[in-house]
Copies of this chain bind each other. A is one copy, B any other.
Amino acid sequence: METSINIPETKSKSNGKALAVGVQQPNRGVKKGIAIGDFILRLCAMAATMGAAITVGLADQSLPFFTQFLRFQAQYDDIPSLVFFMIANSIVTAYLVLSLPFSVICIVRPLATTPRLLLVIFDAAAAGLTIAAASASASIIYLAHNGNPNTNWLPFCQQYGDFCQAVSGSVVGSLIAGTLLLFILILSAFALKRS
């Protein structure tokens, strides 16, 4: 830097530019790799949340017997947590679809920070929402499997096995999606890193 100070104005100007880019250039390839990884993880997370939302939405089991007044049926809207689960996973799926173009921009321009920061902000919100929905449903479905004798809450998965299995699978998928989103956040931090 100091060697180039004595060079006349025009050169020192372009030199300053060379330095400014020089700090970042060698990592362009690495950052591109990170951006591609981000895109792939985003697709995986999208598939997981979409699958979870659809599976829970369609999970529906009727028992083969019914009385005059009662039909024995289990559906996601019997349990408020599962309604939240489905809505949250749908929102996150929609967000992840909308985020894909920004992720592509980050691949094309690995050194751009604005789209990356935008993604970080919304990824954090999406990760929080996904994990919250998944673990809220996980605790309910745990209760459905095991019950809780201390509070007199009886399990119902003996009767509604298929329903419980579908929901359990979705919860696992959603938890994986939440973990992937946290991992995407960490990747973004590495992508934003100076030098």
Residues of B within 8 A of A13 (CB): 2, 5
Interface centre among A4, A16, A17 (most CB of B within 10 A): A16
Task: Kindly report which residue of chain B lies nearest to residue A20, judged by CB atoms.
Answer: B1
- Of A47-55, A56-64, A139-147, the one contacting chain B is A139-147
Task: Kindly report which residue of chain B lies nearest to residue A138, judged by CB atoms.
Answer: B136
Residues of B within 8 A of A80 (CB): 142, 148
Task: Kindly report which residue of chain B lies nearest to residue A141, judged by CB atoms.
Answer: B139
By secondary structure, the A interface counts as: helix
Task: Tell me if A2 and B16 are in contact (CB < 8 A).
Answer: yes
Task: Tell me if A148 and B79 are in contact (CB < 8 A).
Answer: yes
The number of chain A residues touching the other chain, given as a range, is 35 or more
A193 at the interface (CB under 8 A from B): yes
A120 contact from B1, B15, B116, B189, Cβ within 8 A: B189
Task: Tell me if B16 and A78 are in contact (CB < 8 A).
Answer: no
Given the known interface contacts A1-B19, A120-B189, A189-B120, the answer about A113 and B6 at a Cβ–Cβ threshold of 8 Å is: no
Task: Kindly report which residue of chain B lies nearest to residue A188, judged by CB atoms.
Answer: B189
Can you add 13 more A-B contacts, CB < 8 Å, to A6-B9, A127-B182, A131-B135?
Answer: A2-B16, A4-B16, A24-B194, A78-B151, A113-B193, A117-B190, A121-B186, A128-B182, A132-B135, A135-B136, A140-B143, A152-B156, A189-B192
Can you list 19 A-B contacts (CB < 8 A)?
A5-B9, A5-B13, A5-B16, A16-B19, A78-B148, A80-B142, A113-B193, A113-B194, A113-B195, A120-B185, A127-B128, A128-B178, A131-B132, A135-B136, A136-B138, A137-B139, A139-B139, A153-B154, A189-B189
Residues of chain A whose beta carbon lies under 8 Å from any beta carbon of chain B: 1-2, 4-6, 9, 12-13, 15-17, 19-20, 23-24, 78-81, 111, 113, 116-117, 120-121, 124-125, 127-128, 131-140, 142-144, 148, 150-154, 156, 178-179, 182-183, 185-186, 188-190, 192-195
